[in-house]
Amino acid sequence: MALPVETFFLHPDAQGTLQSQIQQMIAQGILSGRFQRGEKLPSTRKLAMHLGISRITVTIAYTELLANDYLTSKGRSGYYVSDNAPVPPAFTPSQIGPDAVDWNRAIGQRFSGGDMPRKPADWGGYRYPFIYGQADPELFDHANWRLCALKALGQKDFTALTTDYYDQDDPQLIEFIARHTLSRRGITARPEQILITLGAQNALWLTTQVLLTQRRRAALEDPCYHALRDILTQSRCHVTPVRVDADGMPPDAIPPDTDVIFTTPSHQCPTTNTMPMHRRHELLERASDMDALIVEDDYEFEMSFLKSPSPALKSLDTDGRVIYVGSFSKSLFPGLRLGYLVGSEPFIREARALRASVLRHAPGHVQRTAAYFLSLGHHDALIRRMGSALHERREVMSAAIAAHGLQIAGQGAYGGSSFWMRAADGVDTQELARRLQSKGVLVEPGHAFFSGSDRPKNYYRLAYSSIPASRIAKGVAIIADEMRALSDLGLSAEKNWP
């Protein structure tokens, strides 16, 4: 018996081409058991009329299903579910009841429950998204990334796509990083001193696991990248927050028993301040005196559109004590999850072994696609385009901030993609963010960047990487209005206090 055409429909919010949607619809019907082996499908003409689409579209979808042995063709008789099509499991899944496990007792170490900020999943639907670290579809070179991904799928790159590198990485990507990316930061490294990671955060985790134990001490900036603080807390090492000033981390404030120093000298997170050269040399001398290591997170150095970035801290290191963390997430897109570690060979050897035991290596296709995108010049062109757009947005935001009397607490001298802001002492920026969200405005409260129980509540971050220049002034005006309303509420509460 032929399947009725009423069995088939296309979901209005479905992704992909019409051909792929039809393929998925039929394949899922077969895999779920709704379409049985030997059953006849509607003709291409009937199904096209039922769905209101071109007959050739249905024919192409059927042809793909034929090639994958989901369907078979019997001449003029039509299309049928293939005898070789997958069969759904014959058993009935058991009913899932309540757990009999006491998970409060069973869980040995907890990783949830932190205060890591979360952006709304639908942030792109907000009119004024002043959020950090998201890809702007207006700026990203999707066409050339797709071409590079297709090139990496070619027969020539079959080995790069399918092989298990075990503990190694794509040699083309490593070669480009060593020859091109690191040289821009004044760093010289051999392939044996470079390790690909799943983003900078994974690089920081690997570094922490290799270098720190419960008996060792780490010093980190305060405020700092909140995910790093979580990583260090989970390692159970001793952690000392060091409050930064306008020049970054003060070397003389680092405890003398520190083993590893974590810092963001070129673009302090989140204040965006840059550590001057004299302090960089002082930090290296301090680390040498203590025989400590330094982990340099050099995020966002590509966004130096105001003037050329200062040399990386590692480029000044003559002792081999600086471990360098880089990432393509900021300059390409965060979902890429591709970063790298650079350090002395004994350290990279251990980090490589740890990575291999946990996740082997980053996917070969992703590495080869990135290698093509970088080596063909698309990445440099993207950086220039992003720099021009971010420069314009920064000027618009700076003017709007000044016009509405908002206070900037930190702004990168070389560029970047955000301003570190300070509200009046009585303003809780978490409450500010909640109120603004209902007005289509997204900002990032700053409390999570600070350490300790008595964290300042009046800092926040305004990023301009994900919002067009034409919307910035209006969004900043809404922020200023809401901040004044909160300040007035605070004053009223003080006056009514008995």
* pLDDT tens column, 168-183: 999 999 999 999 999 9
Stretch 67-95: mean pLDDT, rounded?
Answer: 83
- Kindly tell me if the per-residue pLDDT of 493 is higher than 50: no
Query: Residue 267 and residue 386: Cα distance in Å, rounded?
Result: 17
Query: Residue 408 and residue 317: Cα distance in Å, rounded?
Result: 33
- Kindly tell me if the per-residue pLDDT of 492 is higher than 50: no
**Residue 413 vs residue 59, higher pLDDT:** 59
Mean pLDDT over the full length of the chain: 89
The pLDDT value given to residue 425: 86
- Kindly tell me if the per-residue pLDDT of 140 is higher than 90: no
Mode of pairing for the β-strands spanning 407-410 and 418-422:
antiparallel
Q: What is the 3-state secondary structure (H, E, C) of the chain?
A: CECCHHHCCCCCCCCCCHHHHHHHHHHHHHHHCCCCCCCECCCHHHHHHHHCCCHHHHHHHHHHHHHCCCEEECHHHCEEECCCCCCCCCCCCCCCCCCCCCHHHHCCCCCCCCCCCCCCCCHHHCCEECCCCCCCCCCCCHHHHHHHHHHHCCHHHHHHHHCCCCCCCCHHHHHHHHHHHHHHHCCCCCHHHEEEECHHHHHHHHHHHHHCCCCCEEEEEECCCHHHHHHHHHHCCEEEEEECECCECCHHHCCCCCCEEEECCCCCCCCCCCCCHHHHHHHHHHHHHHCCEEEEECCCHHHCCCCCCCCCHHHHCCCCCEEEEEECCCCCCHHHCCEEEECCHHHHHHHHHHHHHHHCCCCHHHHHHHHHHHHCCHHHHHHHHHHHHHHHHHHHHHHHHHHCCCEEEECCCCCCCEEEEECCCCCCHHHHHHHHHCCCEECEECHHHCCCCCCCCCEEEEECCCCCHHHHHHHHHHHHHHHHHHHHHHHHHHHCCC
Report yes or no: 261 and 283 within 8 Å, Cβ to Cβ.
yes
List pLDDT tens digits, range 326-376. 998 877 888 889 999 999 999 999 999 999 999 988 999 999 999 999 999
List pLDDT tens digits, range 250-280. 999 999 999 999 999 998 999 999 999 999 9
Q: Read off φ and ψ for residue 262, nearest 5 degrees.
A: -105, 125
Listed residue (297, 360, 308) closest to 330, CA to CA: 297
Report CA 473 to chain centroid distance, whole Å: 27
Stretch 90-105: mean pLDDT, rounded?
Answer: 77
List pLDDT tens digits, range 374-419. 999 998 898 888 889 999 999 999 999 999 999 999 877 677 889 9
Listed residue (219, 206, 189) closest to 287, CA to CA: 219
Look-up: residue for tokens 């698309």?
A: 378
Q: How confident is the model at residue 203 (pLDDT cuts 50, 70, 90)?
A: very high
Edge-to-edge, what's the strand order for the sheet holding 217-222?
A: 194-197, 339-342, 322-327, 293-297, 260-263, 217-222, 238-243
The pLDDT value given to residue 118: 77
Stretch 212-217: mean pLDDT, rounded?
Answer: 96
- Kindly tell me if the per-residue pLDDT of 248 is higher than 70: yes
Using only C-alpha atoms, the chain has a radius of gyration, in whole angstroms, of 27
Query: Residue 349 and residue 192: Cα distance in Å, rounded?
Result: 8
pTM: 0.83
List pLDDT tens digits, range 459-477. 999 999 899 999 999 999 9
